[in-house]
Structure formats: structure tokens, C-alpha cells
Amino acid sequence: MPKAYWKSLAILATVLLSGWYLFPSYRFYRLPREKQQELRDRRNPLLNRILNLGLDLQGGIHLLLELQTDKLPDDTPETLREAIDRAMEVVRNRIDQYGLSEPLIVRQGDKWIVVQLPGVKDRAQAKDLIGRTALLEFRLLDSDDVPEAVINKAREMGLTAARLRPGKMPKEIAALLPAGTELLAGKESAFYVVKASAALTGAGLANARVEMGAHEFSGASPHVSLEFNPEGAKRFADLTEANVGRRLAIVLDGVVQSAPSIRSRIPDGHAIIEGNFSPEEAKFLKSVLQAGALPAPLEIVEERTVGATLGDDSVRAGVLAGAIGLGAIFLFMAIYYRWSGMLANLALVLNLVLLLAAMAALHATLTLPGIAGIILTIGMAVDANVLILERMREEVRLGKSPRMVVDQGYDKAFSAILDGNLTTIIAAVFMFQFGTGPVKGFGVSLMLGLAVSMFTAIVVTHTVYDLWLSHRDVQKLSV
């Protein structure tokens, strides 16, 4: 089979895959706003497959949190850095439970955290979620295995960590469990049946750290070392003595983070959690344990609500600007380059479809700067097509055959297209890596858009020419 056929099959597969990624977004955004909000409230799985809109397009809440550093034991840079890292871990953990797919949580300066919650309407609930004190608990597992009937019922009801809160278990689940136990969700979609009351809370924990090197139980893998305060150490010693061989769940804000086994009595308030952790997993668990007791309170010092009306206007303005720009480009290309211009127009449409599909597949967030990035990449895609077509015109004027015109046109234009796009992609990578909020959104759409435009301008249109010339006796190219 000729090479062009394989390329055409690959392009067709890419288009079909793009349609598969875009269809959930098409279904969701065609629904009335009331129905969309209903799906958000029910944490419908469809939300995990749609192209998310940023705070500037769908509205939401913007908060600036300040860590009260005067409550810290000292003001050394290391203490400040560790405290803000722990505070961010707490905020991120709580917002994950809120069910938001694309929240923005970034550090700003030495003691501030910016939180943006797109689509959140209940301001009081969001503030309460972020502002309340973290709760770290150690709870004994009732048994190692969760009854199959309980798991099936939980999945049938669509229960997640956000809905399985301690003390608020659905009656249908409670009826299937032993008295004095609760069903809690873990971070890895697992379920745990734990005792309803906590054996120990984070108030008894003094410190947690990651340790490397050989150990009796964990071997050479990283493990997390715990240190309890005197009162916590005594309670932990009693707890471990009475429950050797059982599993102890570490629960932060109602979500089971880990459930290690108790191997022996631990009398001195020092314990380890082992489990073949990677260094990153061990560091995360350490942060979770430390987050149970914030080193200093967080205060909301700035709060802004972005209304949905502004989002609607912005979307309409962006769509209108894009439609007018595309229409003008299509008309110019069709008149000036004739058949080849129409093919370039087809590549532009495909460019837009593939770009939106890539953003949906990568769970990127579409913002107003992101729309600006898309429009900019469409302009650069036109530029790439113009470069190719002008080179082809030069070859036509030299009297070459259509096959030579196409091959020479693409060969001569390729280096100029690659150089121009590559330098811009490098700039977009830096915007994505070091930027925040709108700058990052612009960088994402620009980076993806340029990669897709090179694919459509160089690969797709060239393949169409190859197929066309291999099936028809073309005497003169329409360009």
C-alpha cells in the first residue's frame, strides 16, 4: 500500500479520536445552565471528560489566603517555606473533596495562596470548606475486606470521598455495616470499613518525616517516620499494644490516606509507615500527616466573585471575533489561491477541531487568554499555508510538473515553517512552566495550537495532494 494511504488512515484515525474526545463537551455545553449545574452538583462522571472553562468564562470565586506567620515558632525562611507548603496541601486536599475538576491553587509570595474555584456558586460553603481546621484521625479498620454488597451499593449510589463524610453515611450503606462502623473512601477509589470513633487524632502527632535507607520492615524503600508528643505517645502505645496485627487507617478530612498494619507495640511514640513507597509517595504522605495540624491559621484577605453574566458575554465576544476572522480568512484564501486555498481552509477547520480535542484530552482549561492563543495559532497556521502555496506558485512559474510543484513547494517551505513555530513553542513552554493563571492558559493553547497547525499544514494537506495526484491525471495545479 502506498505511503499516502497509510498517512490518510492515520489522519482519519486522528480525526475520529478527536471527535470521541470532543463529543462529551458538545453534549454538556448544549444543555441549559440549570441542567449543567445539576450535573455538577451530582458530580456526574461526564464532567471528567469535558473541556473545562476557566474562571473568566464561567464565573466562580477568587480567594487570596494569608498564612498568619506571627503564630509560627520562628520566622526563618525554612520554617516559612515548610508552613506554606503544608497549608497548600491542606487546601488542595479539601478542594479535591469538593469535586472541582480544574481549581487553581498557587503560591504567591512568602505567605499568600491564591485559590480560584471556577463554577462555584455557593460562596459560603466554599469559604467554610477552605477555612475550617483540618482533622487528622487514626481509626482502626473493622476488617481487612469490605463486604462485596457494600462496595456494590456504594458504586450503585455513586458515592465518592466528597459524599462519604464521617457521621453522614447514607442509611442504605449503614444498614449493610456492623454497628459502630463507617464506610470511608480512600484516595485510590478504594473503600474502607473503619470504626466510627477515632482512636487518636492529629493533636497527638508532633512530627513526620521521610527517611531513606535499610529498615527492618521497609528494606531499602523510603518510609515515613512518625513522632508523637508525650500524651499522644502514651495513647499510641496503648492502641498498638491492644491491636497488634490489625490495620490502622490514617484519615485526613474524612478521606483514608493510608492503612498500614500494626506489627508490634510501639511504646516510645516513634513509629514508621512502610509500604514500598516511591520517594514522591512517601513525601506526599508526610505532607498529609503534617497537614493535620496547621502550623498557623489561614485568613481570607481578599475575595472576589466573577459573575456568570461576564462569562457569557466573554464567550459570545470570543466566538464572534473568531467567526468573523475565520470567515475573512476563508474568503481570501479561496479567492486568491483557488482550489489549493480551499484545501488550506479545510486544514484550518481541522486545526481548530484537533486543538480543542487535544485540550479536552489533556484536561486543559479554556480561558479568555486561551481563546486569544487559539486565534493566534490559527493566524500562524494560515501563514504556514501561505508559505507553502507561494513556494508552489514559484515552481509553477518555472514550468515544473504538478508532482514536482507539490514536492518542491513543501520542501522549500518546511524550514521556514519549522523555525518560526519552534521559537514560538519554546516561548510557550516557558509561559506554561513559570506562568500562572491566564498566562499559563495562553501558553497551553499556544503550544498545542502550534503543534497541531504544523501537523495540519505540513502532513494533512501534503497527504491530500499525494492522494489526488496519484488518482488523477493533473496537468496544471490550481494554486
Q: What is the pLDDT of residues 184-230, one digit of tens each?
A: 888 666 888 888 888 887 767 777 788 876 555 555 667 778 888 88
Q: In angstroms, what CA-CA distances link 404 with 284, 396, 401, 479?
A: 59, 9, 5, 14
DSSP secondary structure letters along 192-220: EEEESS-SEEGGGEEEEEEE-S--TTTTT
Strand 191-195 relative to strand 248-252, pairing: unpaired
Q: Per-residue pLDDT for 447 more than 60? A: yes
pLDDT interval class at 460 (50, 70, 90) = very high
Core vs surface per residue 152-174: b (16+ CB within 10 A) or e: ebbeeeebebebbebeebeeebe
CA-only gyration radius of the chain, Å: 29
Q: Quick one: DSSP state of residue 48?
A: G
pLDDT (tens digit, 9 = 90+) per residue, 267-320? 888 877 766 667 767 776 676 666 555 666 778 888 887 766 555 676 677 778
The total number of residues written for the chain in this structure:
479
Measured between its terminal Cα atoms, the distance across the chain in Å is 28
Instruction: Name which of 264, 251, 260 is nearest 144 in CA terms.
Output: 260
Q: Which of 53-57, 61-65, 180-184 comes out lowest in average pLDDT?
A: 53-57
pLDDT of residue 23: 92
pTM: 0.61
